[in-house]
Structure 1
Amino acid sequence: MKITVITPVYNGETTIHSCIDSVLSQTYADVEYIIMDAVSKDKTIPIILKYPEGKIKLISEKDQGLYDAINKGIDEATGDIVCFLCADDMYADRNVLKKIAEGFQTDSTIDIIYSDIVYVNRINTSKIERYWKSSAFSPGLYRKGWLPPNTSFFIKKNSLLLHDKFNIQFKYAADYELNYRLLEKHRLKSVYIPEILVKMRSGGISNAGLLNIYKSLKDCYDVLFFHNVKHPFIYILNTMFYRLKQIYIPSRIKNTIR
């Protein structure tokens, strides 16, 4: 079972190395790694080219944003499973992809596997700033503000293409739209792993400052309206509360990780 990891990047010279290292150090062997570069103007490409030939498939071309880049990566992917890891992010340990492969191999009917993630300090990535604790999906959870972290989403490529890729009209919430469509609307079979599998640096496109948070929530509202959801404002209020709860780190999770 081949897993394709897709990393979109633009001017990511300060973080791309740790992202790449976390992928290439995985103990699971059958991995395809695609980096979609949006014609970076810094040292991103030279950094990528320092890695051994054949380890990374680098495509550098203009795109219409993060989710358009990921869609292009999906088109290039040859793996059975696809997943997305932004240049600011990294896998929590060397066995993440092994756990995912084993999860899919236990049940051939599984379409999606996802997990918990943590947001970490941009400089000190061992310091947790936010803990995104997810849970097993059941119909109606989105109304309560529930949503799984997209960066922990591992999905069968065939299942994804059957229901289409990211809708790039939602610049800040295309991940929310995709997850809602796959889980709530089409009810793809999913499995939740109650472990932290991804570390995400704070300050990404959807979590950097109040303005971007507002834009993200506005896009989420538009997603619900797009899908003819009744009373979308209730969903958004609950989503805001759900995010606030993530700032508190439960006592069972230490505020530092390796």
Structure 2
Amino acid sequence: MKISVITVSFNSAKTIRQTIESVLTQDYPDLEYIVIDGASKDGTVDILKSFGDKIKFISEPDKGIYDALNKGVKMATGDVIGTIGGDDFYPNNQVISHIAKAFEDNKTDAVYGDKQYVNLGDDQTIVRYWRSGEYVRENWLKGWMPPHLSFYLKKSAFEKYGYYITDFTCSGDYELMLRMLYKNNLSASYLPEVVMTMRNGGTSTASWKHRYRANMEDRRAWAINNLKPHWYTLWMKPIAKIGQLFMKS
């Protein structure tokens, strides 16, 4: 099983070397790494070039993060596709091999795990822990979702059910996972371990204003898929994240 990992970057020179190295040091042999850069001007491209043919990358303007992700998915030649942000890194070098084993053992369309958050400048102190839990389809109605950066999906699912919708600004990942797992009832299995370390300050967590926009886009995600959430579903989604601040790994 070949696994493709995609990073979307823009002016990520301060952190992307650690991201790349955390991918390239994975112990899984059949791994493809793709970086889609949005025409960075801060030295990111020089860093990408320094890795030679160990990574595939393009650097050009895009129409946003989901347009860039679609470029990566279409470039990917793997059976399974996952993502890692340009500010983020794998917690150990066995993540991808564990993901692959979960696919092989469970014969599912998707695999997801847990995610932990650290602050910029402090990679050692965990400030938030997202324990995803076993997959129960009905939990989508309770505001549940898997963390996108711990979510791995067969490429055939993209080809059958579509790619990221590019006019979302921060909830395109939620819409895609909702469409794949809830609307089309694809199978998913939970890998009960941390598969991603993320630095605080991502696009969808940057401010309350962003959180409001995300909530509006979450509602649109259900509507465009002709799905009807409970009245409380999309209120529970951000509320559920509060507990992550007190959860320990």
Q: Which TM-score band applies after superposition, normalised by the shorter structure?
A: over 0.9
Question: 1:231 deviation in Å?
Answer: 5.1
TM-score (normalizing by structure 2):
0.96
Maintained 8 Å contact 2:9/2:35: yes
Partner of 2:213: 215
Mapping 1:16-55, distance limit 5 Å? 16-51=16-51, 53-55=52-54
Secondary structure, counterpart of 2:203 in structure 1: coil
Partner of 2:65: 66
Question: 1:67 deviation in Å?
Answer: 1.0
Maintained 8 Å contact 1:63/1:69: yes
**If each structure's helix is expressed as a fraction of its own residues, which one has the higher value?**
2
Question: 1:106 deviation in Å?
Answer: 2.3
Question: 1:233 deviation in Å?
Answer: 4.3
Deviations 1:120-176 (A, max 9, x none): 111111111211111122222111110100100111111222111111222110010
| In structure 1, distance between residues paired with 2:22 and 2:68 | 20
| In structure 2, distance between residues paired with 1:166 and 1:125 | 30
| In structure 1, distance between residues paired with 2:183 and 2:229 | 16
Mapping 1:129-148, distance limit 5 Å? 129-148=127-146
Maintained 8 Å contact 2:157/2:180: no
Question: 1:100 deviation in Å?
Answer: 1.1
AA of the residue aligned to 2:65? L
Maintained 8 Å contact 1:3/1:80: yes
Counterpart selection for 1:179 from 169, 177, 180: 177
| In structure 1, distance between residues paired with 2:229 and 2:195 | 34
| In structure 2, distance between residues paired with 1:27 and 1:221 | 40
TM-score (normalizing by structure 1):
0.93
Maintained 8 Å contact 1:221/1:233: no
| In structure 2, distance between residues paired with 1:4 and 1:30 | 9
| In structure 2, distance between residues paired with 1:140 and 1:104 | 22
| In structure 1, distance between residues paired with 2:134 and 2:183 | 16
Structure 1 residue runs of 5 or longer lacking an equivalent are 254-258
Secondary structure, counterpart of 1:236 in structure 2: helix
Secondary structure, counterpart of 2:165 in structure 1: coil
Secondary structure, counterpart of 1:216 in structure 2: helix
Maintained 8 Å contact 1:117/1:198: yes
**Alpha carbons of 1:17 and 1:142: their partners in 2 closer, same or farther (altered >3 Å)?**
same
Mapping 1:1-258, distance limit 5 Å? 1-51=1-51, 53-107=52-106, 109-230=107-228, 233-250=231-248, 253=249
| In structure 2, distance between residues paired with 1:180 and 1:160 | 13
Maintained 8 Å contact 1:10/1:37: yes
| In structure 1, distance between residues paired with 2:34 and 2:228 | 39
Partner of 1:256: none
Deviations 1:94-126 (A, max 9, x none): 00011111122224x311000010111111111
Identity across aligned pairs (percent)? 37
| In structure 2, distance between residues paired with 1:157 and 1:94 | 23
> How many residue pairs are counted as aligned between the two chains?
249
Secondary structure, counterpart of 1:35 in structure 2: strand
| In structure 1, distance between residues paired with 2:227 and 2:127 | 32
| In structure 1, distance between residues paired with 2:168 and 2:231 | 17
Maintained 8 Å contact 1:143/1:238: no
